[in-house]
Amino acid sequence: MPETFAQRRGKRETKQLLVSELDLTKIQGKGDFPCPNCGVTISPEDETEDVYTIIEEKLKGDVLEALVIQCNKCSSRIQLTGFPVLEMDYV
Ligand SMILES: [Zn+2]
């Protein structure tokens, strides 16, 4: 039985990892970016979690304000900010 996200989160972290910050509004193209530490390409569209794992979602109301991910290759953490505000078309 695979461990759940909550169980993984529940594990105690023994060391404080440095978190890099990345502003998505400063990224050109489709939103792919290289890991600041090891250079592996991280794509926010990739939901397989092969390359990275989502650690934390920070919401402000219903708006996603920041997303903390962990690179699976080098274990560094990256906080993504600058998510586009999705405008709903009610018409
Ligand atoms: Zn990395």
* Count of structural domains, the chain: 1
Task: Supply the pTM of this predicted model.
Answer: 0.69
Tell me whether residue 61 is in a domain.
yes
* pLDDT tens profile 3-58: 666 555 555 555 555 789 999 888 887 778 999 999 999 987 788 989 999 999 99
Query: What local confidence, expressed as pLDDT, does residue 77 receive?
Result: 95
* pLDDT tens profile 63-90: 889 999 999 999 999 999 998 766 666 6
Q: How far is CA 87 from CA 21, 31, 34, 84, 91, in A?
A: 25, 18, 28, 9, 12
For residue 34, the CA-to-ligand 1 centroid distance in Å is 8
Give the structural domain span for 76.
40-84
Ion ligand 1: residue ranges with CB closer than 5 A = 35, 37-38, 71, 73-74
For residue 52, the CA-to-ligand 1 centroid distance in Å is 8
Query: What local confidence, expressed as pLDDT, does residue 72 receive?
Result: 96
